[in-house]
């Protein structure tokens, strides 16, 4: 909140964390990697959308990275995600609909923080969500 003002989640993002899928990595004795599914939900009512013919449209930039307890950081993984809603469904979507994005992160070792950054391209509003994991 200190970095991004009073509302650190202006897009109203919700993240549901799925059950971890554990597996051992070959060649690294005792090193454990865990894949964790994430379901990211963003209310359409928080997105700025432009009408293009029979669709309302926007673009999200979704960025993920991790940091371990020693401060080591992963590479950034960034993805451009188009969002669209049929004009006939726009009002209902704005009132109670969510855009859903499914992904998974792999973490290794003990304590990890995973950061999810989502920027809505039209308005430039950005949400940063930290998630803490302890294997």
Q: What proportion of the chain, given as a percentage, has pLDDT over 70? A: 84
Q: Is the pLDDT of residue 75 over 60?
A: yes
Q: Which residue has the tokens 């003002």?
A: 5
| 18-53 pLDDT per residue, tens | 887 766 454 455 556 778 889 999 999 999 999 999
Q: What is the pLDDT of residue 44?
A: 97
Q: Is the pLDDT of residue 109 over 70?
A: no
| 76-85 pLDDT per residue, tens | 889 999 999 9
Q: Which residues pair with 22 in a beta bridge?
A: 34
Nearest to 128 by CA among 63, 77, 72: 63
Q: Output the furthest CA–CA distance in the chain (Å, rounded).
A: 56
């Amino acid at each position: 909140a200190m970095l991004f003002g009073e509302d650190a989640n202006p897009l109203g993002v919700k993240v549901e964390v799925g059950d971890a899928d554990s597996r051992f990595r070959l060649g690294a004795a005792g090193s454990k990697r865990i894949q964790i599914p994430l379901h990211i939900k963003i209310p359409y009512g928080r997105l700025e959308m432009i009408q293009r013919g029979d669709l309302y449209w926007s673009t999200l930039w979704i960025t993920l990275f991790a940091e371990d307890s020693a401060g080591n950081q992963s590479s950034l993984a960034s993805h451009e995600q188009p969002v669209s809603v049929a004009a006939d469904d726009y009002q209902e979507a704005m009132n109670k609909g969510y855009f859903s994005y499914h992904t998974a992160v792999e973490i290794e070792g003990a304590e990890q923080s995973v950061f999810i950054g989502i920027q809505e391209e039209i308005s430039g509003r950005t949400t940063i969500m930290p998630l803490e994991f302890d294997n």
